[in-house]
Amino acid sequence: MYMTFREAANAERLYAHEQSSQISGQCGSPGYLHGSLDNSGTVFVSSWKRDVPSRNTPEFKAEFNSVLDMLRFDERYGNALKNRSSMIAFCLANPQAQINNGREYVFRADTQDYSYLIRCTPAGEDNHVFIYPYNRQWLDCHIKQAEKGIRFITPDYGEKFRIPDGGTVRITWSDGTSNDRIARYIDEYHLELSGDYTNLYHICELAERLERAGSTIIPLRSSLPEKCYAVIPGGEEIVVVTRGEKGYSHTDKYGHDRAAAQEIVDGYNECEGVTKAQATAMLAGSMFGWDTPAADPKNYDDMGVMVKARHRDRDYER
């Protein structure tokens, strides 16, 4: 059996976790496996979860066992799952696969009919590997469709903003409390929001519910930093802007004039890895709303100057 094995792309990494019933069905998941490795290579303790008998066919089981053996004992695939020591060495040799601040690594294996998203946790105490198989064609179709982004609209279908699949939104309720939720793409008109439980919404239904409740929703774009420095509009005071929050926090820092203050701010932000496009978008979001185009750094050039909108642009920054 022929198989390819590589680091998972950013969009693919979303599928290296347990999915909702809706996404699992769309991607043809037959279930998934938790596995624990020892250091000898003789023990692989595993547990099959969320079994779907109609997809967990004898043919799939036979292929899955072959794939697992290849990942454990075939040198062409680095003996990635031979034992715990081998898995750690393989992960360290492929740093571009790391997520979660390097605590986890995600890979993708493909056969003719199936794709396997494999999440390795070298520092895990019990489960060291998680394998999520999917129908290869269905998975690739869902990933391709999700590139359109997730739409958030007004009740009359006016588009407010879009975020990439797996992006985060903040819902602020009428009493002032707020919750951050991860959004997942289902199709052009449906999305899921995570929380204590996952809810499936039609995009218009969600807009109507929020309006009736007197609540608001904004994107927490991952292309923006958590905080940055800015010069207070019309003055010389240096302030701190926090992503998703209205207004800014005062500091005791000033420049001799506005130009000097901006020079100081640019230096601070550069040290924090914040670009001028991001800083300009952050200030705009804090003043005019985080759901406005002005709060998206992709709408600015390298100098922080807004560029002409591209109506067909769907290249969302992650």
pLDDT tens per residue across span 30-51: 999 999 988 876 668 889 999 9
SS3 content of the chain, % helix, strand, coil (to 5): 30, 30, 40
User: Which tokens hold the place of 178?
Assistant: 């707020």
- % of the chain surpassing 90 pLDDT: 84
Tell me which residue of 24, 165, 213, 145 sits closest to 205, measured CA to CA: 213
Mean per-residue pLDDT, 75-98: 94
Let me know: does 134 contact 28? Beta carbons within 8 Å.
yes
List b or e across 79-113, with b for residues whose CB sees 16 or more CB atoms inside 10 angstroms.
Answer: bbbbbbebbbbbbeebeebbeeeeebbbbbbbbee
Residue 94 and residue 82: Cα distance in Å, rounded? Answer: 16
For residue 80, which of 98, 99, 93 has the smallest C-alpha distance? 93
Residue 142 has pLDDT above 60, yes or no: yes
pLDDT over 60 (residue 172): yes
Extents of the domains making up the chain: 4-144, 148-220, 227-299
Tokens of 63: 């292929």
Query: What pTM was estimated for this model as a whole?
Result: 0.86
Asked whether residue 159 carries a pLDDT value surpassing 80, the answer given is: yes
Average pLDDT over residues 55-70: 96
What would the mean pLDDT of 47-68 be, rounded to a whole number? 95
Question: CB-based contacts of 168: which residues, under 8 Å, 6+ apart?
Answer: 180, 181, 182, 183, 219, 220, 222
Between 1.10.357, 2.40.30, 1.10.1760, 1.10.287, what CATH number should domain 148-220 receive? Answer: 2.40.30
The encoded tokens of residue 99 equal 């997520």
Q: In 3D, which of 314, 231, 217 has the Cα closest to residue 269? A: 231
State the greatest distance between any 2 C-alpha atoms of the chain, in Å, as a whole number: 75
Residue 157 has pLDDT above 60, yes or no: yes
Q: Does residue 245 surpass a pLDDT of 80? A: yes
Task: List strands edge to edge, sheet with 249-254.
Answer: 227-231, 237-242, 249-254
The predicted structure's pLDDT at residue 101: 81
pLDDT of residue 309: 60
Pairwise CA distance, residues 301 & 316, whole Å: 15
3-class SS at 80?
A: coil
8 Å CB contact between 114 and 65? no
